[in-house]
Structure 1
């Protein structure tokens, strides 16, 4: 029997761990399946055509909030052109209301609930025995039986995770090693956050460390670019996560490992181990969500904010890993004022990325079950995003949507930190939320949200913003933006709107770059090869303020200062005292 397992990923770079877990388990039971992944950015007709070419007798599709609407449309088309094909849906977007899914979509034959490895394998074996005819009554599934929707048992879970085969084949890893590889070391979560589907399950199950080390070694041996752990809280148990961190820290590899952690569960030993890891080895995602205590209590979440501050600051200080912190808009009891406080709290930690998410009223989550208590209004179809509640009007949610867009293009782009943090200090009294709210208001007024924007356009927008609202600060803002431009994107983006002065320095710079002994004071082992190489690798720029002094003390001094930027070393800069001819 020809069985195709598929899904629609959000992006091409993503891969589906669920499909590979299902395939590996079915293969263990002697059932051959094939996998084909698509994305939500492809056209339905294109996907349908490719599925038709493969001529599956059974097709299983993994469903999530980002693809469910498109999957339903696809299944309807599949039944129209391949009416004999058995269509099976699984995944979180159909597990919590399987009867409703079948009732609304009669072209779906089966729904597999929860962890689907055992249920799907049994269902496929039953279909093989009956050659796809009749009804297979398998625990953990729902289907039509004699015209009636029947749900067979409950969602099933895998008791011993080591019983699951490794999800990836070596030959496949060679093909997908530059995409994001998803992996799990546990299932379940110790917490009961009411906005999360993990609140619907109890307890945490772990793979053995011996098994995990073997799996991770396979990824390292195949030189994969990034492994993203899907554990809901990776550092739940110290005797589990710390040996994994230690093992990965000792490897000689390019692979980056991404974990979602609770920062307040880290202790000094874990902080020390993470801080000593090779640069770029780890990437940490830390869900703060809110710092408003009534909100945290309502969603059954406990944050030790003092410890979060301490631990994130310690990890940030060494700067050897990417830190990604999260906030959620639309949680109970969090008004715009309280959200702004949460924002400023997290912003003060200066994470590499601060993600502003909007609450999704997920099926099966506690917050969706109590939606009437807080007067929630949200979209009827996936992703069920909040539009308003008792504490935030739609107008305020809309304002925060603009703020998120601008924030992603500015702070999260890592391009404008020096200039914007100075503006926060000098013009907004240290209130970061006020700056980004003002930027987003300007963004909306100019209808910038209706257009796409290049990095150069963002420089122009920020300069226009400063010119209109804070003209007396414009010259300093120019100089700090120049510094940001030369320390971002390898110095390749140099907007014409900024007051570059290197053309006026051309003669002095020509003498400087030709004099290897002179340049060697700042760039050891420097050799002049060609002007093209010099322009590609280095930049010298004169600033009208003392940039090093500002970075050290936060004080602006009007003093001409020349800096040399070395793009062989990620834009590392060096102070050039002057450009007078060098005397050996």
Structure 2
């Protein structure tokens, strides 16, 4: 007899991402007698290609994991699937459909929708389907109960075959009617089955891992605020599972825990374990900086450099705005701890800001940016408020006169405190900050320009407006052009002289790009004539650099002096770059 076949489909926001939810469902039902297949795509894939691959599998059921970024694509695919083969049943699940399950299932193709945590609900549904029952029969003790004998559409339900399917956490459709099995209690996280096995191809993927569920905080804009029941996985089980991922040589493990360090003993236990491992795997955590203890900082100080990455949700440095969103902390406390971690020198930190928060105007956001920038974290993420179904923020949208897109990702358009036009400006600032600051490849150039503005925000604002005027946001520009923009910006906007700047740009360019070819706009007079002669001289110096990985370059200012002091001195200098070590730059001017 043919086994039930279910496709578990994840459509990720990027190719390097992987879908944790569908892996949980497969792992939690691996003992059942059915065939489950995971299929992953990205939103950049063509709908036609995804459809072809799904239909080719000849599945009985297709289950979609739904998020902000793929909701519309999933809706379209579901319609196409039914047009090709109406016998295929469709299940929806995930945060994007959990807070309007009935409405979503009424308006879209498909038979089932799983609300909230899906492991137990999915398992009950699959057991029911395996037994070969139609979607409305009743002799599965897991799926039905006497309490289902109720009044539906003013009619008393007495016949067994008419009793609604009663799986907690499940919406199902019968004809045009949608029925609901009721709220399901959250699962014990220790019952969740580790979702990765030898079949998973995890090379060059970001692997997601979950050590706890729930969040202690009640931020109004966040869906995690709905579940304050924090549940931790057994720490020894966590260590064993992380060991498996390290043995698989996973490049990056990203914890999806909302506030990883909310439990002192648990957090330090995991960090100590990972610190002592011989591995190249990196680990990313979302933490709340203000609750970092001295003990946690001490544990982190012993971690190998680059082993840990932290994401810190600052959101705003305005303490009144923090109160407006139920974050009863002060930025001063956050900044103090972020600086402590930065001083360790071994952990990369990513700080988040959100534009469009209730009560925050353009000036306040600008101030937040400048205060966060002064800390000099490795990355600054400028995000924009999203009004999510199910979040407490939805209940206050009228109070703050919030207008937001009704389409995913439900992003804020304006509030009574910040206009649509001002948010568009911040979008442009966000783009240039992400490209230039967060990449870490333009640090010397950025320091040159920051000196010429009253504050960092004013510089990125001016650069963002220049990008917009030139049309660079509306077309793809090459890697080299991103460097050339600085010369145009300097001469056209600041009326500056480009001789010194050209040297500074070239210094950064050679740090992170192939050195066999340098863009013409970065060449100094007579550079090419000197290259071969200089190389021969440098090779004769017997520097501790592989001769095949060595590059020598001429500058017309004292570059290393500028890096240290930000002072420009006219002086012919020669620097040797080691392509195996970006931080190894040797000044050989005196030796030559």
Say whether the fold is shared (TM-score over 0.5): yes
> Deviation string for 1:267-293 (max 9, x for gaps)?
233223323322221111111111111
CA distance 1:182–1:315, change in 2 (3 Å): same
CA distance 1:91–1:480, change in 2 (3 Å): same
Q: SS at the partner of 1:14?
A: coil
Q: SS at the partner of 1:172?
A: coil
Q: Is the contact between residue 535 and residue 551 of structure 2 (CA under 8 Å) also seen in structure 1?
A: no
Structure 1 CA distance, aligned partners of 2:125 and 2:546?
69
Consecutive unaligned residues in structure 1, runs of 5 or more: none
1:161 aligns with 2:189: yes
Consecutive unaligned residues in structure 2, runs of 5 or more: 137-163
CA distance 1:157–1:514, change in 2 (3 Å): same
Aligned equivalent of 1:276, options 302, 307, 312: 302
> Deviation string for 1:286-326 (max 9, x for gaps)?
11111111211111113442333233233334443332111
In the alignment, which residue of structure 1 is the partner of 2:80?
77
In the alignment, which residue of structure 2 is the partner of 1:519?
542
Aligned equivalent of 2:284, options 254, 258, 282: 258
In the alignment, which residue of structure 2 is the partner of 1:38?
41
5 Å-filtered alignment, 1:63-142, equals 63-105=66-108, 107-134=109-136, 136-142=165-171
In the alignment, which residue of structure 2 is the partner of 1:572?
584
1:486 aligns with 2:496: no
In the alignment, which residue of structure 2 is the partner of 1:437?
461
1:373 to partner: Cα distance: 1.0
1:527 to partner: Cα distance: 6.4
> Deviation string for 1:510-549 (max 9, x for gaps)?
441341xx233xx2xx565xxxx2xxx2222233333333
1:155 to partner: Cα distance: 4.5
1:48 aligns with 2:73: no
5 Å-filtered alignment, 1:121-520, equals 121-134=123-136, 136-145=165-174, 147-158=176-187, 160-169=188-197, 171-173=198-200, 175-425=201-451, 427-429=452-454, 431-489=455-513, 491=515, 494-500=518-524, 502-506=527-531, 508-515=533-540, 518-520=541-543
Structure 2 CA distance, aligned partners of 1:261 and 1:490?
37
TM-score, normalisation: structure 1: 0.92
Aligned length: 561
> Deviation string for 1:306-365 (max 9, x for gaps)?
333233233334443332111111111111111111111111122222111111111111
Structure 2 CA distance, aligned partners of 1:318 and 1:550?
26
1:478 to partner: Cα distance: 2.1
Structure 2 CA distance, aligned partners of 1:16 and 1:180?
10
Q: SS at the partner of 1:326?
A: strand
Q: Is the contact between residue 355 and residue 385 of structure 2 (CA under 8 Å) also seen in structure 1?
A: yes
Aligned equivalent of 2:7, options 4, 26, 32: 4
Structure 2 CA distance, aligned partners of 1:409 and 1:309?
24
1:486 to partner: Cα distance: 2.0
Structure 2 CA distance, aligned partners of 1:151 and 1:122?
14
1:194 to partner: Cα distance: 1.0
Q: SS at the partner of 1:33?
A: strand
Comparing 381-390 and 65-74, the one that deviates more: 381-390
RMSD: 2.0
Q: SS at the partner of 1:94?
A: coil
Q: Is the contact between residue 288 and residue 303 of structure 1 (CA under 8 Å) also seen in structure 2?
A: no
Comparing 318-327 and 553-562, the one that deviates more: 553-562
Aligned equivalent of 2:30, options 27, 30, 35: 27
Structure 2 CA distance, aligned partners of 1:337 and 1:424?
19
Q: Is the contact between residue 5 and residue 34 of structure 2 (CA under 8 Å) also seen in structure 1?
A: no
TM-score, normalisation: structure 2: 0.90
Q: SS at the partner of 2:468?
A: helix
Q: Is the contact between residue 459 and residue 495 of structure 1 (CA under 8 Å) also seen in structure 2?
A: no
Q: Is the contact between residue 123 and residue 136 of structure 1 (CA under 8 Å) also seen in structure 2?
A: no
Q: Is the contact between residue 28 and residue 165 of structure 1 (CA under 8 Å) also seen in structure 2?
A: no
Comparing 297-306 and 67-76, the one that deviates more: 297-306
In the alignment, which residue of structure 1 is the partner of 2:145?
none
Structure 2 CA distance, aligned partners of 1:116 and 1:178?
28
Structure 1 CA distance, aligned partners of 2:514 and 2:305?
18
Structure 2 CA distance, aligned partners of 1:493 and 1:351?
32
CA distance 1:493–1:284, change in 2 (3 Å): farther
Structure 1 CA distance, aligned partners of 2:320 and 2:126?
48
CA distance 1:272–1:563, change in 2 (3 Å): farther
Structure 1 CA distance, aligned partners of 2:475 and 2:559?
34
Q: Is the contact between residue 62 and residue 89 of structure 1 (CA under 8 Å) also seen in structure 2?
A: yes
CA distance 1:494–1:507, change in 2 (3 Å): closer
Structure 1 CA distance, aligned partners of 2:114 and 2:433?
39
Q: SS at the partner of 1:360?
A: coil
> Deviation string for 1:412-448 (max 9, x for gaps)?
22222111122112x112x010001001111111122
Q: Is the contact between residue 327 and residue 354 of structure 1 (CA under 8 Å) also seen in structure 2?
A: yes
Q: Is the contact between residue 220 and residue 255 of structure 1 (CA under 8 Å) also seen in structure 2?
A: yes
Structure 2 CA distance, aligned partners of 1:209 and 1:362?
32
Structure 2 CA distance, aligned partners of 1:397 and 1:495?
35
Structure 2 CA distance, aligned partners of 1:452 and 1:527?
36
1:473 to partner: Cα distance: 4.9
Structure 1 CA distance, aligned partners of 2:555 and 2:78?
61
